[in-house]
Amino acid sequence: MSPIGVFGGTFDPIHFGHLRTAFELLHALRLAEVRLVPAGQPPHRDTPTCDAQHRLAMVRAAIADQPGFVVDDREVRRDGPSYTVDTLRELRAEAPMRPICLIVGMDAFLGLPQWHEWRAVLDLAHVVVAHRPGSAVPDSGVLGDLLAARGTHRVDDLHEAVAGRIHVRPVTQLEISSTDLRDLIVAGQDPRYLLPDPVRTLIRATACYRPRPTR
């Protein structure tokens, strides 16, 4: 069974940095699919600017009918903080024998030891770190030790076990962030060519980044 990829994020809004990463990993790792999982209430950061339903709608619009991309709305439907470990437990229960690759950017990987039940994450899934070519990979501390013990360069290892390996994978880095996009939109500029046109259309139609009047 080919692994599924699980790519979580706040996606406030989703942009081409996310989509290109998911697309390259879908093919490079021979994944059955990549599930994009918008967080309902991201636990480690401020409340998103745009509400969960709008962020979910933007992810749906972004992937449209791209084969191999699937939107998974379980974290938006679930009450309380959106812990990745809960999502992985549900997916593991649905498919006990299927490898799961949790996709994270290097910035997210560096914060892994602060995640809720982070060690359980590696019992449930492999972690694939989408990495800027040429930039530093941790070689000391908790993450350095973890990479020494569990790191693999072999894609086949991600197919042969259901969980527990860490694979650092260079991907084309597009210097786009949701933070910069929100700032740009609030400043009245056009986000065109940084995110898919249907997402831009939704942002315009819903005005979901328009500053709310303060009382």
Dihedral in degrees, nearest 10, Cα atoms 169, 145, 2, 76:
-90
Q: How far is the CB of 21 from ligand ATP (least distance, A)?
A: 4
Q: How many Cα atoms sit within 13 Å of 135 on the Cβ side?
A: 13
Q: Which range touches ligand ATP (CB under 6 A), out of 8-16, 66-74, 149-157, 194-202?
A: 8-16
Residue among 108, 112, 127, 208 that touches ligand ATP (CB under 6 A): 108
5 near ligand ATP, judged by CB under 6 A = no
Within residues 37-76, the interface with ligand ATP by CB under 6 A covers none
CA distances for 212 relative to 48, 181, 208, 215, angstroms: 14, 17, 9, 9
What is the Cα–Cα distance from 26 to 176, expressed in whole angstroms? 20
- Count the Cβ atoms, other than its own, within 10 Å of residue 170: 14
Stretch that binds ligand ATP, among 72-80, 169-177, 184-192, 206-214 (CB under 6 A): 169-177
Closer to ligand ATP by Cβ: residue 134 or 213: 134
- Which 3 state secondary structure label does DSSP give 201? helix
Q: In sequence order, what E strands does 74-180 have?
A: 100-105, 126-131, 166-170
Contact track, ligand ATP, 111-130, x by CB under 6 A: -------------------x
Which residues here bind ligand ATP, judged by CB under 6 A?
9-12, 17-18, 21, 104-105, 107-108, 130, 173-174, 176-179
